[in-house]
Amino acid sequence: MIDLEVPKKLIPIVNQARGFAEEVMRPISRKYDLAEHEYPRELDLVSAVIDGMTDSGVGQGAGAAGATRTKGESTDPGEGTHEGELAGVGAGRRAKRGNQVRNGANLSSVLSIMETCRGDVGLTLSIPRQGLGNAAIAAVANDEQKARYGKRWAAMAITEPDTGSDSGAIRTTAVKDGDHYVLNGEKIFVTAGERAELVVVWATLDRTLGKQAIKSFVVERSNPGLKLVRLEHKLGIRASDTAAFHLDNCRVPAEDLLGDPEIRIEGGFGGAMATFDNTRPLVAAMAVGLTRACLDTTTELLADVGVTVDWDRTALTQGAAAARLAQLEAEYEAAYLLTMRAAWMADNGRPNSMEASMAKAKAGRTCVNVALACVELAGATGYSESELLEKWARDSKILDIFEGTQQIQLLVVARRLLELGSAQLK
User: Looking at 5, 197, 403, 419, which residue is catalytic?
Assistant: 403
**How far is the first Cα of the chain from the last one, in angstroms, to the nearest whole number?**
34
> What per-residue confidence (pLDDT) applies to 53?
64
pLDDT digits (tens, 9 = 90+) for 321-374: 999 999 999 999 999 999 999 999 988 888 899 999 999 999 999 999 999 999
The whole-model pTM stands at: 0.89
Cα–Cα distances in Å, from 350 out to 158, 363, 419? 26, 21, 17
Cα–Cα distances in Å, from 100 out to 96, 340, 347? 6, 18, 11
- Catalytic, 83? Answer no
Cα–Cα distances in Å, from 380 out to 48, 257, 324, 377, 387? 39, 52, 18, 9, 10
Residues in the chain where the model's pLDDT stays below 50: 1, 70-98
Residue closest to 371 by CA, chosen among 347, 353, 352, 395:
395
Pseudo-torsion of CA 374, 402, 71, 84, nearest 10°? Answer: 110
> What per-residue confidence (pLDDT) applies to 378?
98
> What per-residue confidence (pLDDT) applies to 261?
87
Q: Which domains does the chain have, with CATH numbers?
A: 1-151+265-426 (1.20.140.10)
